[in-house]
Amino acid sequence: MAEEKLTQAQQNILKSFGESLTEDQAKADLIRKSATTGTDINPAELAGVPALRRQFLDSQVQNLSYGSQHMVFYSKLNKMASASTVVEYTTFDRHGETGHAMFDTEIGLSAPTDPEMKRRLVRTKSLSATRSVSLIAQAVDNIAQPVEIYTNDAITNVIKNIEWASFYGDSSLTDDPTGVMGGGDGLEFDGLVRQIESGAPDNVMDARGKDLTPELLNSASLAIAKGYGAPTDVFMPLGVLAKFSSSFMGQSRFMGDHGVMGQNSTSLTAGLNITKWVTTVGTVDLNGSAVMENDKFLDTKFLGGKNAPAEASEVKATIVPNDHGKFVDEDLVSGDIQYKVTVNSDKGESVAVAVPAVLDAINSSISLAIKLPTAYVETPKYVSVYRQDKNTGNFFLLARIGVNKQDVQGVITFIDRNQVIPGTVDVFIGQVDPMVLRLYELIPMMSLPLPTQNKTLAWSVIWNGALALIAPKKFAMIKNVGYTQVAPTR
């Protein structure tokens, strides 16, 4: 008799089919003839039992991108209603004259002096995210309502753009030398970078590629204190916060778990997450953002879309010796500097033009002459200049320049002295208080139904407002900060 290869339980199951399975060959024949369902999903390949199989679709839509909960800066902004597209406010900038001039004789009086006050203004800007869904798409048996999914997506996009513009918005990006709608403004409102640089240039500090340190935080806090502010928050990419926290690991002490009732244990929980920092002028919250630096990376997915202008017709790189360059020795290892330049309309970004350059000395500069296209459908508004980070190969945004900066030959010139270092990010610290920082809203976020000419439901999530840094000296910016770089998930 052949050796038995099935267990008793297996034999009992097979015998329940009513066939004689005393021989190995009979067992093999039955197993060979058994119908299987498989894992194919191509209908053309499904026959027999596989044609009966239903596929299981999870009823949850899994979000692999950012959500509104990741906008840490937006959530802390003080929202304030506006009644006009132009918001005006008055600031008390300084007191009258002090010192010896205030002393006088027994019968005399000091000369009259005036405090300094200024009227300032902010122009609100519009944002919108438009979506449409067919009636058929709504009628079928979906795992989730498309309108709800698309509306949540639009809301998140608008919030993300408000937060991004609150850091990096630039009202100078326009093709009109006199500006659109008066005032010399483009479509964006000015963010913290522009408002700090113009209102408190001494509060811009440069880490030159080094990691964030307590010394940098204390220096920024001191600058704010000299502007009579009390910093409350620091905003930074998570990659900065991770390195900052890790820098204290060597100074940390961890307690082991020795068990309960005298029973020894070898378990130990280690690690460090610093959420607050005590500066020389008070305690600040350390806010790490997962999306703050996302738009510094060159995103190639939508380049050259239907709303994009034509690419630059020509870009030339010229080395200018002894021109106050701030490059470092590592940049001279190969001397190879790689740029990419895109042209932007109001609704799209052109394909990138690659521009190589060979650096000869660390104090040289690299001048890019960007010639705009002579023929286009979508009007160019500004150009974007990206430079490659040699450590990772990623391209980082160096600058955006309005088309109104072109010369009579239609050429925009950008000079790179390594003022912005690719592969680095910015850190902002300041007093988040309604008297210092406000997000004015003329139209709070709302859904606007749109007319349609076919079987679709169309709508747009709209918003109108602007950021006002009322007291620029109560905020500071640390640029070119080193961090743990991770390419973003869009």
pTM for this one?
0.86
Domain chopping of the chain, boundaries: 71-91+115-248+272-293+433-481, 298-425
| Mean pLDDT, range 186-198, rounded to an integer | 95
- Please, which pLDDT band fits residue 25 given cuts at 50, 70 and 90? low
pLDDT above 90 for 30: no
| Nearest alpha carbon to residue 416 among 352, 355, 343, 367 | 367
CA–CA gap between residue 146 and residue 62 (Å, rounded): 14
**Helix 146-168 / helix 192-199 crossing angle, nearest 10 deg:** 20
| 282-289 and 233-237 strand pairing | parallel
- Please, which pLDDT band fits residue 155 given cuts at 50, 70 and 90? very high
Share of the chain above pLDDT 70, in %: 89
pLDDT number for residue 363 = 95
pLDDT above 60 for 18: no
| Mean pLDDT, range 226-251, rounded to an integer | 91
pLDDT above 60 for 382: yes
Least confident interval from 215-229, 249-263, 366-380: 249-263
pLDDT number for residue 1 = 47
Spell out the SS3 assignment of 355-408. Answer: EEEECCCCCCEEEEEEECCCCCCCCCCEEEEEEECCCCCCEEEEEEEEHHHCCC
Please write the tens of the pLDDT for every residue from 261-310: 555 566 677 778 889 999 888 899 999 999 999 999 999 988 988 889 99
- Please, which pLDDT band fits residue 487 given cuts at 50, 70 and 90? confident
Q: CA–CA distance from 146 to each of 67, 76, 114, 286 (Å)?
A: 17, 30, 62, 37
DSSP H or E run through 148: helix 146-168
* Architecture label for domain 71-91+115-248+272-293+433-481: 2-Layer Sandwich (3.30)
C-beta separation of 169 from 107 below 8 A: no
Half-sphere exposure of 356 (CA within 13 A, CB side): 4
CA–CA gap between residue 280 and residue 301 (Å, rounded): 45
pLDDT above 90 for 208: yes
| Nearest alpha carbon to residue 399 among 170, 229, 205, 125 | 170
Least confident interval from 145-159, 247-261, 429-443: 247-261
Least confident interval from 56-70, 218-232, 397-411, 448-462: 56-70
Spell out the SS3 assignment of 158-218. Answer: HHHHHHHHHHHCCCCCCCCCCCECCCCECCCCCCHHHHHHHHCHHHEEECCCCCCCHHHHH
* pLDDT, the chain, mean: 87
Dihedral over alpha carbons 251, 477, 286, 74 (to 10 degrees): -160
CA–CA gap between residue 434 and residue 436 (Å, rounded): 5
Identify the residue whose tokens are 């106050």: 324
Please write the tens of the pLDDT for every residue from 170-191: 999 998 876 554 455 789 999 9
